[in-house]
C-alpha cells in the first residue's frame, strides 16, 4: 500500500453506492490553461460529471476511463498514479468534499507564496517532488533530507515518481506533511491531510 492506494481505498468507501462508478472520466491535455507556479510538467484536465480538476505531471496521459480501474490496483506506474490522483481530485470536487482542484490565476502566485512563507516561517522544510520554484523561493528554509525537516511539502510529483512517493509513504503520520497544488487535492482530501492551495478555483 502507498499514500495513493490508501487514498483510493478511502475514495472507494466514500463513493460506494453513489453511482459514480458507472460514469466516465475524461483525461486530456490542456497546455494553455493556467498552471500552479510550483509544479512542472504537462497540464491535464480531468473531467467528471460536469466537474473539473487539474493535474500537472511529467507522465502525461490522455484517456477516457472509469473510476473502478483503480480499485484494488497497485497503481505501479507513474502514469497510473497520475490518473488516479486526477480522478480523486475531480471526484472529491464533484462530491463537494474539495473546493480547490484547479490552478489559481497567475495574478495570485505571489500572494500564494507570501501566505505560505508567513504560515511556515521558521520551519525547516523538505520539498518532496519537482517543485523548483518553491525551493528557490524558500531559500535557506529548505533542508536536504526529510529526516531534518519539521514540515514535508508534497507536490504532485511527490506522488507520481516512485522515489518521491516512497518518502511520502515513509514519513506520513510521523512528520507534519502538507500537500501542495491542485494535483494533490484528491489524495489530501481522502487521506484527511493538510492541503495548501489557497487561491485555487
Residue at grid coordinates 485555487: 200
Asked if residue 201 is part of any domain, the answer here is no
Residue at grid coordinates 490565476: 105
Q: Can you spell out the DSSP letters for the chain? A: --HHHHHHHHHHHHHTTSSGGGSEEEEEE-TTS---TT--SEEEEEEETTEEEEEEESS---EEEEGGGGTT----SHHHHHHHHHHHHHHHHHTTS-S--SPPPGGGHHHHHHHHHHHSTT--EEEESS-HHHHHHHGGGB-SSGGG-SEEEE-THHHHSHHHHHHHHHHBTTBEEEEESGGGHHHHHHHT-EEE-TT--
Asked if residue 21 is part of any domain, the answer here is yes
pLDDT tens digits for range 33-69: 998 999 999 999 999 999 999 999 999 999 999 999 9
Asked if residue 138 is part of any domain, the answer here is yes
pLDDT tens digits for range 5-20: 999 999 999 999 999 9
Confidence grade of residue 100 (pLDDT, cut at 50, 70, 90): confident
Distances, alpha carbon 4 to alpha carbons 47, 88, 146, 172, in Å: 19, 10, 19, 12
Domain that holds residue 118: 1-196
Asked if residue 102 is part of any domain, the answer here is yes
Asked if residue 57 is part of any domain, the answer here is yes
pLDDT tens digits for range 176-200: 999 999 999 999 999 999 999 999 8
Residue 148 burial (CB count, 10 A): 11
Select from 50, 63, 141, 54 the least CA-distant residue to 105: 54
Query: Does residue 201 register a pLDDT over 90?
Result: no
Percent of the chain residues past pLDDT 70, beyond the cut: 100
pLDDT tens digits for range 138-161: 999 999 999 999 999 999 999 999
Residue at grid coordinates 478555483: 201
| Burial classification of residue 145, based on how many CB atoms lie within 10 Å of its CB (0-12 exposed, 13-18 middle, 19 or more buried) | exposed
Residue 169, all three cell numbers: 509513504
User: How many structural domains compose the chain?
Assistant: 1
Amino acid at each position: 500500500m502507498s499514500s495513493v492506494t490508501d487514498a483510493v481505498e478511502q475514495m472507494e468507501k466514500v463513493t460506494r453506492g453513489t453511482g459514480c462508478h458507472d460514469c466516465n472520466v475524461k483525461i486530456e491535455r490542456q497546455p494553455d490553461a493556467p498552471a500552479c507556479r510550483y509544479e512542472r510538467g504537462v497540464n491535464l484536465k480531468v473531467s467528471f460529471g460536469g466537474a473539473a480538476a487539474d493535474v500537472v505531471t511529467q507522465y502525461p496521459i490522455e484517456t477516457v476511463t472509469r473510476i473502478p480501474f483503480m480499485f484494488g490496483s497497485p497503481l505501479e506506474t507513474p502514469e497510473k498514479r497520475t490518473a488516479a490522483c486526477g480522478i480523486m481530485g475531480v471526484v472529491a470536487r464533484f462530491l463537494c468534499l474539495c473546493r480547490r482542484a484547479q490552478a489559481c490565476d497567475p495574478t495570485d502566485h505571489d500572494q500564494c507564496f507570501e501566505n505560505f512563507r508567513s504560515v511556515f516561517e521558521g520551519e525547516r522544510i523538505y520539498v518532496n517532488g519537482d517543485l523548483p520554484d518553491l525551493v528557490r523561493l524558500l531559500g535557506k528554509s529548505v533542508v536536504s533530507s526529510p529526516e531534518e525537516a519539521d514540515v514535508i511539502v508534497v507536490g504532485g510529483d511527490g506522488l507520481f515518481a516512485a522515489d518521491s512517493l516512497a518518502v511520502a509513504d515513509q514519513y506520513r503520520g510521523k512528520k507534519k506533511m502538507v500537500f501542495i497544488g491542485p494535483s494533490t487535492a484528491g489524495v489530501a482530501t481522502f487521506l484527511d491531510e493538510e492541503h495548501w492551495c489557497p487561491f485555487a478555483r
